[in-house]
Structure 1
Amino acid sequence: MGRAEERRARQRGGHRAAPKSRRSQAPASSPAATTAADATTAARSADGATVVGGRSAKAAKPPKGRIRRLFTWKKMLGTFLGTCLLGIAGFVALYMYVDVPQGNAVALQESNVYKFSDGTVLARVGKTNRESVDLAKVPTEVQHTFVAAENKSFYHDSGIDMRGLARGLFNTVTGRGTQGGSTITQQYVKNYYLNQDQTVSRKLREMVISLKVDRRLTKDEILAGYINTSYYGRNAYGIQAAAQAYYHTDASKLTVQRGAYLAALLQAPSQYDWTAATPLGRKLVEARWNYVLDNMVKQHWLDAGKRQGMSFMKDAKPKEPKGTPGEEGQKGYLVQLANQQLEDRLMKTQGMTRSQAEAAVVERGWTITLNIDKKKQAALEKAVKSQLTSKLNPKKRKVDGNIQAGAASVDPKTGKIVALYGGQDYFKHWISNATRRDYQPASTFKPVILAAALEQNATTQTGKPITADTIYDGTSGRQVLDHGSKVGFGPPNEDHVDYGPITVQKAMNQSVNSVFAQMGVDVGMTKVMDTAKKLGMDTEGMQAVPAQTLGSMGASPLEMAGIYATFANHGNKVTPSILKSAEQKNNSVDIPGAIGGPVISRTAADSVTSVLTGVVDDGTASENVAGNSLRDGRQVAGKTGTSDSNKSAWFTGYTPDLVTSVGLFGEDRKSQAHVSMMGATGLLKYPGRVNGGTYPAMIWAAYTFGVAGDAKFDLNTTQGAGVEPTQTPTFSQKPSQTPSNTPSSAPPSSSAPPSRSPSQSPSQSPSQSPSQTPTGTPSTGLPTGGTPEDPLNPDGGPDSGQ
């Protein structure tokens, strides 16, 4: 074989062999060549692979592919360096192009106009409260509180935080929420030179201007500009206005403790305003206050020993607000909720933080039209006054000074908040009782348990479907069972009344705690809380435990109105909205619809509505709702609720076209602690207890029957008081013994509906005759009148349940 032929043979074998040295090559006719050829042939026949030069083609390296030739390390490095050069060139060009604009912080201050749904003006808010002060007049320790709170590296940085800026740009481009990590210089630039818009172009301008401002101004000048242009809540812009608004003093007289509070406010001014804050808001701002002071110690700006002796309540608790003209009466509560919902919308659509959103809304020239119906708002205020506040006399009865009322009214078909009652006067009580979530909704939560049971097609411990006709054991204090084992929870009924065998319908009518505690375990408390969340309850941090069946969590009248509006709207989610439109010069905010898709089935929702008509016609609300002379045949569904120790009382009810939740709360005027309402207005009935069936139901009826139409419920269900019974009641559990059908003590007069004769047993529904024989008997729990161990009620007093 010649050299050319040998070379072609090697190429056919899979690759081009490296040339051999002349010394190792032998003539084709030599014995060495013949031996090599024979060895190659033997190797090929042994494993089926072509062997070239003693190596198999299987082990040969494949030729470089097109991708490998394209992405060589040299080309990749060149591309990276080119990109960097282009980026640097672009930044240089941007730096040369963008100038520092004229400051516009004062020019941006403009009154907001708030309107009723019909376009008439509700309020005009926006008298600018601003006064700049020289930094030299602000104590050095107070200056340091702002640096410790917002930007510890302020005195050493170049004016920007590259990592925070990159994160903000990425979040803006990808729509992943709010930006964090801005320096004090960047925040000053936003406040004074730019605006709060969250766009890529605005962020790039912010970066360049911050760099230039840091070069042109001293750190003290930047800090002075920052604390004089920031928004602190209470319509206060700048540290001097904030010192006056929160402590009624000048900025020059602020202590480090008070300065730390003002610095902490900047993260979320309205949420952290101590006077109007929720319990959670108070915890957060106090934690923020501690964070600021601890950072000052780390930076050696505050002595550690001095820090140890500081107390928020003693040294930094702010004073009552003075109030802004235009927000008196109910107006302030309406403006507050409108601002909050607009801020929430800006945070969601433009990626703002809470503080940025507040600064973008308050006094920025918005025209905000609310869904509030002027006539319904007036009617609600009138109902509260005629049925409650006109009867309160704090001089005669101390408890009367502790009564707070809140209410929210929602159109279930549109989700519009048509009326709201936040308290007697925004200037006298800054916390809105319509939106506060620190009181228990009590038995108004029971319909949620039933909704979960119906939605999940849940069964009792013995496998019987849970329906309006299912019979449970209504023994007070009966220990809840989970397939034979006790779960350590046995809530008493109101006044420890034993109802014996009782249908779910009747248990809802009379608000029997023991029945719904067992039902919650039968359904599964996780499923109950999941249903509550779907219906609109904020369940974050709530434990799925049997005690929640008593409505022991916190909720607001507005929250409960939304949940019941979802029932009224056949299971379609209703998220109550006060905003109709929000416009600002050439800018408008898209307001989403308040009605969503189904979160529970129509059958489940309509069945709950049907059952709740029985509460009105033959239950705890019968006296002051069903028996109200203004009812005029209107169909009504609803539920009463009264919390432990009578600290709150509720009635949440609805007609087909209007849902309203009314709550009464016992609040100490000075400490704002939750207190009992027993004996308020000199009430001697029930005895002295402010039940949900008393003043809350009276306010609800006076308002609703004056403004609601006469529409009829369109129910897709075969269950509940709203329809004729279609099945024989079934027992929930096999009995261990037969209890008496007569309660051990007479029920309170408030729970005896007019339609029941004195001889009728509480265990019988209106559709049952006394002689009707159940198909079984329920099991009994604790002895009659026994006091169970209740982790939420250690003193043994019963949760009212009504």
Structure 2
Amino acid sequence: MGGSAAVGGARVPGSPVSGGAPGRASVGGSAAVGGARVPGSSGSASVGSARPAVPGRASVGAAAVGGAAVGGAAVGGAAVGGAPVGRAVPGRASVRPVSPAGPGGPGGAGPGGTGPGRRGAAALSPDAAKRARRRKIANWSIAAFAVVIMLAGVSIVGLTYAFDDIPDINTFEPEISTVAYADGTELTKLGEHNRTVVPDEKISPLVKHAVAAAEDKKFYDHSGIDLKGIARAAWNNISGGNTQGASTITQQYARHAAELTGINYNRKIREALLARKIEDTYDKDQIISLYLNAIWFGRGAEGVEAAAKAYFNKSVTTPPGEKNAITASEAAVLAAVIKQPEPIKGGHAGYDPHYNLEASKERWGYTLDNMVEMGWLSAEDRAKAEYPEKSLVKYNPDGCVSECANSKPIGHVLKYVKAELEEMGITDWQQRPYRIKISINPAMQKAAEDAASRKSKSSPMSKTDENHQAALVAIDPTNGQVLAYYGGDDGQGFDYGGGNGGHNPGSTFKMYTIAAGLREGMSMDSYWDSTKNVDEERGGREISNAGRDDPACAKYCSLEKMTIDSFNVPFYWMTKEMGPEKVVAVARDAGIRTMWTDEDEVINLAEVEPSAVAPSKFDVEVGFGQYKVKVIEHVNGLATLANRGSYNKAHFVVSVEKKRADGEWVKVNGEQIKPEKKFDTEQIDSMLKVLQKIPGASDGNDHSLANDRPAFAKSGTWELGKEGGTNGDAWYLGATTQIAAGVWVGTSGARSAIKDPDGSDMYGGDTPGQIWEDFMNAANKAAKYEIESFPEGSFVGDPSVLANGVSPAPKAPENPNPGNNPNSSPSCQPFDFNCLFGNNPNNGGNNNGGNNNGGNNPGGNPTPPAPNPTNGIPGLPGNDDDDD
């Protein structure tokens, strides 16, 4: 053949190409691939700037790939039975032909078998000469076959070089996204890949040099190709021998980027071509940075930044010498691991010190020695270097590196976070790096888990039966941020806080019923008939009052008393009079989005009008909490009331940042706080005026907060119904101006009776109330919130609207002092002459010189005292215990 062929910009003497010189494409010619020009030479192999071959030396052709040579004469710079030709191709270790002769190779003493004392073929014994000829023929045959393959595929190789693009690390390397708490501390990583790509200029030079020293110490000098690896791959294809894949750092990155697998001739050719293209595109510092960001280090770490965190809890971005920077010794550990990060079953145990400390130390020393040789580490620092033992103790082989929080209580939060990202249109968080900041306060989260988890010895739940389960959610009323969330101990299991279902809210739902009544013009200063417990219009339906009865007020019980003592009867009639759809509408406006019917049909209140589902699906009993709701949504409604009628949607994601190609983070999304005024402020204030009396009077328990911090609350229970007469759900919801928190207690698995630790039936003011109190005190302390009061409310509306009670009957005044001497009466005060002279109705009669004339003569006609709206009726306490 004559002329030359140019492939990928390289000239190949031996075939006609424009501007090419005539030549031969036979043995003794050459092929150039990847931009290196190899002049034809009789009986020689020439590579790039390599020196001419020794004249007369046996050689069989050559193929140049980016400046590296393959041929029978020179393989990676190691001479075969002759003088060294050109310079050695940088790589891991050169491979000499196997020979039974001494350390000098086939010729005798001296490196490479050359130099004084080398014997020629004529000096060999007949047997030795015969063996040498066989070896030479075999070597020539192998090399010739490799060249034939290369020349035959030269056009394919050229096309591959021309059209095989370099994969962009920003498109093929999935990078980890992180989730941080409200205070900025990392909560967990999201996605399957634990990788954080670091720009080349930010990677510590110590790490780069250590990796080059371990993997390719001539990396900064060569053109990116290890041709001896290609020759070995060709030989392995022919002979079926063991695979050998030592490559330069550039080739290793090319293999990873193009997802090339196996060790064979075809892969090696493409790998070499891609490596040449990478070398033509990037500088050395960029190439090693791409490599470091891509490769696997074991311990779940993809890329050097994740590895630095996994092995030493450090960052490679910290400049050397600064606090918490990676040291040379630590960099050498990371570099040593690359060769084989993990054990191979039945094979080598790898170089992770956790699995194979001895091998790790050996390769660590090899790396440091190479760093000294290359001038990247001083001999003095090498002498002082100590193996960093902490690389051992940091590793938990059974632990996880991505989404590690899934199995913990906080795992439930991550489900909400992912859902919110989807709503924002962020669906590539598994492939692209995002930094997500959420609203969870870590101190409050701990307080929630300490208070509500049965695993916590300080929790009231720890002394309850094993099947008892609690849920707790806390929200900032001013912006809707979820501050703490506990839905169960297993973040991958059932979420009792709302992710997997709802619970009957019982009397806690009465807050919405009151708000609905206030919307209709009702007043908290109204009176109700507590004895009217049968609805004749509905077939004599009996209204359960849960055992509550107070004959002292009977037909004229104040709404305040009915709320605090949690009578059901007034709320039934209140709901029937205005319509259950009004209660459903208020619940929806406050924050309830999901309700379950008695048949467990899920109703999304955001998609239907209340009148379309009530009373058809939610009947009058909605007024006192018959239908199941989610804890998180119920607390969202509570937060709306605490915010004096302004609704903020409960949410977890506060901000989302995405990393640009240059490594800088830019904000792409986040919370948009848009309060919606849903209720009249004065009406809500009038309700809170009453609800603030409940924390101090809950089922005989005082749940007032520490330091007399003002709060309002409502407790509630729901009976098992068909399953039995005891309670199956117990709630306690309460709020300050800064935290709205709700607690539910029920059972896991089949719904069954809930009991306090002493075995008695559980009510909302019992264990749930104590959990709420414990959490609120701890949360306020952790957040260092100032003590704030709710505005002083006053009763508004018309007491006659909706109310079905009668005005309290006048009550005859009692005579507290039937005695003889008014001066001795404790009811008379100094200078109170009406009292002293018998003109006070409380005196019990006219005092005539100390003689009581009848004892019960009031001495006048007093007017009966007006009803006291804040204390029920005259003579009745306003803070009776709540049976809920």
TM-score by length of 2: 0.43
Higher RCO (CA-CA < 8 Å; seq separation 6+): 1
Question: What TM-score, normalized by structure 1, do the two folds share?
Answer: 0.47
Of structures 1 and 2, the larger Rg is shown by 2
Larger helix proportion, structure 1 or 2?
Answer: 1
